[in-house]
Structure 1
Amino acid sequence: MNPPVVLTIAGTDSSGGAGVGADLATFAALGVHGTCVVAAVTAQDTTGVRAVHPIPYDVVVAQLDAVLDDLDPVAVKTGMLATPEVVRLVAERCADRVLVVDPVLVATSGAVLASAAVVAAYREHLLPVATVATPNAEEFAALGRPGGANVLVTRGGDIATTNDHGTGCTHSAALAAYLAHGVDLATAAPLADAFVARQLHLGSDWTLGRGRGPVAHLLAHPHAPTQGEIA
């Protein structure tokens, strides 16, 4: 039986903790086939965001056409969309699918990642058609504290760790994966919470980077290659 197909429309993260990389790893861990549209390329590490390069609009459209026309994803998950034009594009093209909107407006480091025009586009176009939105507390405030049963305000896990870079991306990707499997939102939300808690616990004692390290995207018991396999 084919796995459900899920699409992430998001930015890259050169540190590997968040963005498209985190989404695809989470999709794989939860048994769905991940596809992607890159909306922005970022230069970032565990201490902060150094640069953001929005992908040209026509290239974003071409990527989206390629996935929607051929693989027909059950669910779409959004991350950093970078421009108001891309926010509106997603609202227009993806409203007929399960749509999980993670409004990436502020990085874990505190860096502001969205302009006022992008925030307005979320409020006016994307949030009204979302199956569920998953802002953190700062993003919820920036969006004007939108109401409705389809808004889940996320928070960090209860695990004592500074390795939490990418928590929001991982949570929303997990939520999209569970919804793609046909689980209802009331059941999918705590499952996504539990998945994130497990991953935070798994990487809680890592020392990767000089700042807030990445959420673990390994499976609980990864198979490390033996010397014989490497040879």
Structure 2
Amino acid sequence: MNEAVLVLSGLDPCGGAGIAADIETINQFGLTPLPIVTTMTVQNTQSVVEVQPVNIGLIAKQFHHLQADIAFKVVKIGLLCSSEQIRVIANLMQDKTIVLDPIVKASTQEVLLQTQVISTLKQELLPLVKILTPNMAELFALSGEKDEQKAIEKLACKWILLTTTDVSESSIEHRLYHNAKLVKNYTYNKLSGNYHGSGCTLSSAISALIASGANIEIACKNALDYTYQTLLNAKNIGKTQFHPNRIPAKNTHTGEKYQ
């Protein structure tokens, strides 16, 4: 078991998404998050109005300084908003287990990644990823395809957990692919609210579970169940989107909280 998970993601000042969500989620599974901020944002529950990449030299220094002191294998990556960031971070990740939440748009629909940055992400980082967690819009944006199976095949990631909340009406079917073949379906009732940070919660929970020794299928199932519970208990602290209520996670085998 690895007791720490490195997190590379953006800072959301309202606390619903980004690195704040990652820290909360990983803590709830009894692990220590090692957060490195990649992007500064100006946002709230209603909109994103500005995005500024953090200096890549600082990110690299933080990574090396952490690695010299703390052992970690699993890395959760969220928002990377420049090609330079992606190239440097990819070079740092050669021996890591990467969970990538490919954030292309904010949940309030502002575009966060431009076409050239998406291209760099596909070329430099995707080949290193253990599991990718896109929603349908992100899958199509990354692949350039409009057919799900063709898009999965084109991305050529070993594991892809496709979430479909963004295209579902009442029942949601998330799908887990291994080597472009469908291996698991996970069905949930769609909730009525708009949520800020559900994707970050899911990918961070998967990261924590993998670091705790779970295999991919178990990690995905438990992380999806956990994320759904955070949405059922979501908090309304702003004017628009709800925050997932990241309560302590329970081991689905024992029913006990992670320590």
Q: TM-score, normalised by structure 2?
A: 0.79
| In structure 2, distance between residues paired with 1:162 and 1:15 | 18
| In structure 2, distance between residues paired with 1:171 and 1:117 | 27
Other-structure match for 2:197:
166
Other-structure match for 1:195:
226
Where structure 2 has 5 or more consecutive residues not aligned to the other structure, the ranges are 144-150, 166-187, 250-259
- More strand per residue: 2
Other-structure match for 2:73:
74
Where structure 1 has 5 or more consecutive residues not aligned to the other structure, the ranges are 221-231
| In structure 2, distance between residues paired with 1:59 and 1:31 | 28
Alpha-carbon deviations, 1:106-150, whole Å to 9, x = none? Answer: 111111001112101111111111011111111111101224441
Question: Contact 1:27–1:177 at 8 Å: present in 2 too?
Answer: yes
AA in 2 matched with 1:101: L
* 2:238 pairs with 1:212: no
AA in 1 matched with 2:123: E
Other-structure match for 2:164:
155
Other-structure match for 1:18:
17
**Distance apart, 1:90 and its partner CA:** 2.2
| In structure 2, distance between residues paired with 1:158 and 1:107 | 23
Question: Contact 1:4–1:74 at 8 Å: present in 2 too?
Answer: no
| In structure 2, distance between residues paired with 1:207 and 1:99 | 32
Q: Using the TM superposition, name which of 61-70 and 120-129 deviates more.
A: 61-70
Among candidates 204, 208, 211, match of residue 180 of structure 1: 211
| In structure 2, distance between residues paired with 1:84 and 1:72 | 27
Alpha-carbon deviations, 1:173-226, whole Å to 9, x = none? Answer: 0000000011110111111100101111111xx432111121112448xxxxxx
| In structure 2, distance between residues paired with 1:92 and 1:154 | 28
Q: Using the TM superposition, name which of 108-117 and 166-175 deviates more.
A: 108-117
AA in 1 matched with 2:195: D
Other-structure match for 1:48:
47
Other-structure match for 1:92:
91
AA in 1 matched with 2:111: V
Question: Contact 1:8–1:37 at 8 Å: present in 2 too?
Answer: yes
Question: Contact 1:3–1:33 at 8 Å: present in 2 too?
Answer: no
SS for the counterpart of 1:53 is: strand
| In structure 2, distance between residues paired with 1:138 and 1:174 | 21
Q: TM-score, normalised by structure 1?
A: 0.88
User: How many residue pairs get matched?
Assistant: 217
